């Protein structure tokens, strides 16, 4: 696997006489890939049907002459203002039925066929011009689906498309009424045209209705992406990529990835810590300038699962961002650390966002590798250092990790629709499990719920997996590795209703969840031997063995052979005990780590990352603040 560095560049923001020097400077910094074009629609097609390719041709020329490989973006995340004159109803509509206005980006509804076709036509135009141009070495389709809350739309276009989707799925309203339980509150329909989108109802809409709408909305993103794939595929052999955004879960990324060649994601560690992660004030203060020690790794492992292991970081934070509530600068060393961490998890390319800070518009406060006045910013030195180290460090190959963690987008939708307790968030649950594994020095593979098998894994976790596919149930029956499911695993149908027999209903594990409770902040249930349940507790019945017990005698972990059911949401101390107990049932080696130190094992090397603001001594090594070390395994 060849590693490389890249950068995001916007030639349309800068005078043309700067391009050649920019390209030369990129090369001098060790950058070999450059992404361009993804927001440039108004310059490519300034008026409907009037195209200006000259500037793009010249930009491609200049960049390629400096030896850079180009990722060309399709500009569909930023339809120009004239597009709205053509399609006034193309805007997404929010939950209050208000259209979201022009004036930033992602101002479109995925269900609007007119705009979907226009975007695919633009992709085809670009493909016709550059598809066989060897300087275009990859394509990015659109930009960050779902970012800025743009999957769910209550537009007229969505309503029409939803009715069609329902008619196809259920064939008759009587089947739909049965599946959704519409007899409850006299919600039965006679025709598909009577069915509205599930917003602005007097009280909660039927969860089955909402879940169907969630599934539909995800399918619309898949179809939207597929339209551009269909336009580009016949015109190019270069790989097609999308750049997903961290903790954006409203659509199924595995499903989008099936139409693409390489997965990529946009990594903003300090922005994420401030903006989209739970954590105590102490945790947020400690990692203020480093980001959470597990957030980046989690997404690296997630995207490695999508396209047979081919994935990139398309955008890497290079300095302070502009969009979080607070925007501290990375500690010296962190840009290097994040870059090496991505490579250690198998990234082919790490591409910094952006080359030069733009002095204009929304992101004028967002750092680049260069300052707006064209002086190097601190990120550039670290990028150059990584490039030099890459030349010395042999390529590393991925190895299968000892642990598998199942991740399922539909479970996030299920628990958003039916949380039953304000703190039951699927990502948070999965992420706490992931962290607990990493505290023990474990490398983790994230797998989709319909993964092809579990062979080679020594431990498998699937917390919160709302509905388990039969193939996963079979795979868990076939492996001897300890498998842990729960809380809330296999306890609802696809339609989001309670199955009979009640869950988890795993063959061989006689355990039934008889009652669930959600626990408000500040309350917990103590567990014998240490640790507590927080947020969520379940009462289970059945003949399975009890492995962990509450102080009140309640079963916390039930077990039979390799199958384990976790009847609640563990705090960190309980997660540590559970993982230790499961590891002892197999030959999994745990390497408990000091706070903020993280490991990643490749086929040949062990990498150690220090997310702490100070040095750490570990196993005879001193790892500097924001430091990275590696050695052969
Ligand atoms: C990403 C986006 C980029 C830029 C960046 C700023 O979400 O793809 O275009 O806005 O954030 O951090």
Tell me, yes or no, whether 572 and 512 share the same domain. Answer: yes
Contact 334, 269 (CB under 8 A): yes
**How far is ligand 1, taken at its centre, from the CA of residue 310, in Å?**
22
CATH of the domain at 284: 3.20.20.80
For residue 483, the surrounding DSSP H or E stretch is strand 483-485
**How far is ligand 1, taken at its centre, from the CA of residue 150, in Å?**
14
Please indicate, yes or no, if residue 299 is contained in any of the structural domains.
yes
Domain limit, last residue, from 182, 203, 236: 236
Please indicate, yes or no, if residue 242 is contained in any of the structural domains.
no
Quick one: what percent of the chain has pLDDT higher than 70? 100
Tell me, yes or no, whether 193 and 271 share the same domain. Answer: no
Q: Look at ligand 1, atom 5, and give the residue with the nearest C-alpha.
A: 353
∠ at Cα 29 (604, 33), nearest 5°? 70
Please indicate, yes or no, if residue 286 is contained in any of the structural domains.
yes
Known catalytic residue at 144: yes
How is 496-526 classified by DSSP, letter by letter? SS--SSPSB--TT---EEEEEEE--TT--EE
Domain limit, last residue, from 395, 416, 438: 395
- Mutation test of ligand 1: which of 36, 357, 363, 364 has the most ligand atoms closer than 8 Å to its C-beta? 363
Domain count, the chain: 4
Please indicate, yes or no, if residue 528 is contained in any of the structural domains.
yes
Tell me, yes or no, whether 553 and 428 share the same domain. Answer: yes
Domain limit, last residue, from 395, 413, 444: 395
Q: Residues 38, 144, 210, 495: which is the catalytic one? A: 144
Q: Can you give the pLDDT at residue 402? A: 98
Tell me, yes or no, whether 461 and 579 share the same domain. Answer: yes
CATH of the domain at 573: 3.40.50.880
- Mutation test of ligand 1: which of 35, 140, 144 has the most ligand atoms closer than 8 Å to its C-beta? 144
Q: Is the pLDDT of residue 1 over 60?
A: no
Q: Which domain holds residue 116?
A: 76-138+151-236
Q: pLDDT tens-digit profile of 461-503?
A: 999 999 999 999 999 999 999 999 999 999 999 999 999 999 9
**How far is ligand 1, taken at its centre, from the CA of residue 267, in Å?**
9
Tell me, yes or no, whether 176 and 203 share the same domain. Answer: yes
Quick one: average pLDDT of 365-377? 98
**How far is ligand 1, taken at its centre, from the CA of residue 545, in Å?**
50
Strands (E), 116-168: 136-140
Tell me, yes or no, whether 418 and 561 share the same domain. Answer: yes
**How far is ligand 1, taken at its centre, from the CA of residue 268, in Å?**
9
Tell me, yes or no, whether 327 and 440 share the same domain. Answer: no
Q: Is the pLDDT of residue 452 over 90?
A: no
Tell me, yes or no, whether 21 and 86 share the same domain. Answer: no
Q: pLDDT tens-digit profile of 76-107?
A: 999 999 999 999 999 999 999 999 999 999 99
Please indicate, yes or no, if residue 307 is contained in any of the structural domains.
yes
175 pLDDT band, cuts 50/70/90, is very high
Tell me, yes or no, whether 487 and 554 share the same domain. Answer: yes
Please indicate, yes or no, if residue 416 is contained in any of the structural domains.
yes
Please indicate, yes or no, if residue 144 is contained in any of the structural domains.
no
Tell me, yes or no, whether 512 and 578 share the same domain. Answer: yes
3-state helix, strand, coil in the chain (%, to 5): 35, 20, 45
Q: Look at ligand 1, atom 12, and give the residue with the nearest C-alpha.
A: 321
Query: What are the backbone dihedrals phi and psi of residue 478, each rounded to the nearest 5 degrees, phi first?
Result: -80, -30
603 vs 601: CA distance, rounded Å = 7
Please indicate, yes or no, if residue 365 is contained in any of the structural domains.
yes
Spell out which residues line ligand 1, taking CB within 6 angstroms.
Answer: 143-144, 147, 245, 266, 268, 315, 321, 323, 353, 363, 366
Quick one: average pLDDT of 530-550? 98
**How far is ligand 1, taken at its centre, from the CA of residue 225, in Å?**
19
Q: Can you give the pLDDT at residue 535? A: 98
Closest-lying ligand 1 atom to the alpha carbon of residue 143: 8
Mean pLDDT taken over the chain: 97
Tell me, yes or no, whether 562 and 424 share the same domain. Answer: yes
Quick one: what percent of the chain has pLDDT higher than 90? 98
Q: Residues 38, 45, 315, 538: which is the catalytic one? A: 315
Q: Three-state SS across 401-447?
A: CCEEEECCHHHHHHHHHCCCCCCCCHHHHHHHHHHHHHHCCCCEEEE
- Mutation test of ligand 1: which of 76, 146, 315 has the most ligand atoms closer than 8 Å to its C-beta? 315
Q: Look at ligand 1, atom 10, and give the residue with the nearest C-alpha.
A: 363
Tell me, yes or no, whether 46 and 89 share the same domain. Answer: no
Closest-lying ligand 1 atom to the alpha carbon of residue 38: 9
CB under 8 Å to 313, separation ≥6 — which residues? 264, 265, 266, 267, 300, 342, 347, 349, 350, 351
Quick one: average pLDDT of 112-133? 98
């Amino acid at each position: 696997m060849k590693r490389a560095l890249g950068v995001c560049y916007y030639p349309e923001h800068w005078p043309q006489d700067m391009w050649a020097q920019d390209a030369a400077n990129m090369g001098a910094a060790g950058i070999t890939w450059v992404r361009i074009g993804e927001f440039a629609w108004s310059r490519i097609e300034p008026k409907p049907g009037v195209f200006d390719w000259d500037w793009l041709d010249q930009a491609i020329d200049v960049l390629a002459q400096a030896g850079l490989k180009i990722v060309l973006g399709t500009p569909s995340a930023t339809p120009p203002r004239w597009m709205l004159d053509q399609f006034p109803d193309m805007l997404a509509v929010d939950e209050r039925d208000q259209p979201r206005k022009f004036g930033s980006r992602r101002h479109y509804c995925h269900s609007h066929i007119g705009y979907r076709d226009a975007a695919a036509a633009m992709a085809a135009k670009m493909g016709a011009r550059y598809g066989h141009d060897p300087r275009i070495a990859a394509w990015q389709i659109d930009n960050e689906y779902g970012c800025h809350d743009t999957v769910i739309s209550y537009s007229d276009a969505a309503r029409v498309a939803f009715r069609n989707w329902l008619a196809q799925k259920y064939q008759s309203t009587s089947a739909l009424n049965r599946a959704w339980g519409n007899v409850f509150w006299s919600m039965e329909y006679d025709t598909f045209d009577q069915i509205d989108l599930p917003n602005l109802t007097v009280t909660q809409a039927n969860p089955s209705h909402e879940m169907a709408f969630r599934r539909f909305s995800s399918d619309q993103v898949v179809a939207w992406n597929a339209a551009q794939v269909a336009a580009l595929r016949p015109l190019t052999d270069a790989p097609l990529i999308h750049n997903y955004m961290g903790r954006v879960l409203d659509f199924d990324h595995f499903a989008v990835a099936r139409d693409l060649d390489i997965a990529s994601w946009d990594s903003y560690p300090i922005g994420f810590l401030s903006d989209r992660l739970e954590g105590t004030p102490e945790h947020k203060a400690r990692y203020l300038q480093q980001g959470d020690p597990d957030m980046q790794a989690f997404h690296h492992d997630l995207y490695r699962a999508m396209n047979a292991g081919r994935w990139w970081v398309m955008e890497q934070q290079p300095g302070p961002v502009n969009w979080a509530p607070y925007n501290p600068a990375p500690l010296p060393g962190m840009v290097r650390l994040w870059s090496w961490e991505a490579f250690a998890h198998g990234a082919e390319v790490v591409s910094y966002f952006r080359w030069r800070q733009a002095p204009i518009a929304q992101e004028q406060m967002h750092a680049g590798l260069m300052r707006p006045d064209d002086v190097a910013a601190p990120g550039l030195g670290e990028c150059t250092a990584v490039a030099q180290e890459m030349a010395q460090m042999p390529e590393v190959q991925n190895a299968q990790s000892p642990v598998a963690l199942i991740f399922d987008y539909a479970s996030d939708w299920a628990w958003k629709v039916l949380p039953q307790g304000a703190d039951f968030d699927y990502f948070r649950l999965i992420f706490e499990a992931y962290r607990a594994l990493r505290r023990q020095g474990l490398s983790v593979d994230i797998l989709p719920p319909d993964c092809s098998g579990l062979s080679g894994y020594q431990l498998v976790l699937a917390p919160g997996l709302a509905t388990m596919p039969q193939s996963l149930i079979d795979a868990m029956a076939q492996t001897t590795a300890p498998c842990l499911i729960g809380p809330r695993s296999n306890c609802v149908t696809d339609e989001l209703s309670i199955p009979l027999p009640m869950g988890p209903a795993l063959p061989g594990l006689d355990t039934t969840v008889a009652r669930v409770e959600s626990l408000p902040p500040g309350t917990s249930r103590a567990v014998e031997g240490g640790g507590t349940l927080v947020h969520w507790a379940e009462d289970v019945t059945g003949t399975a063995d009890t492995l962990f017990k509450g102080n009140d005698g309640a079963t916390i972990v039930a077990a039979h052979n390799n199958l384990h059911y976790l009847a609640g949401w563990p705090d960190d101390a309980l997660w540590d005990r559970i993982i230790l107990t499961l590891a002892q049932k197999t030959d999994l080696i745990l390497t408990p780590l000091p706070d903020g130190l993280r490991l990643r094992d490749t086929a040949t090397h062990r990498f150690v990352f220090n997310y702490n603001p100070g040095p750490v001594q570990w196993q005879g090594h001193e790892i500097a603040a924001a430091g990275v070390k590696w050695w052969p395994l």
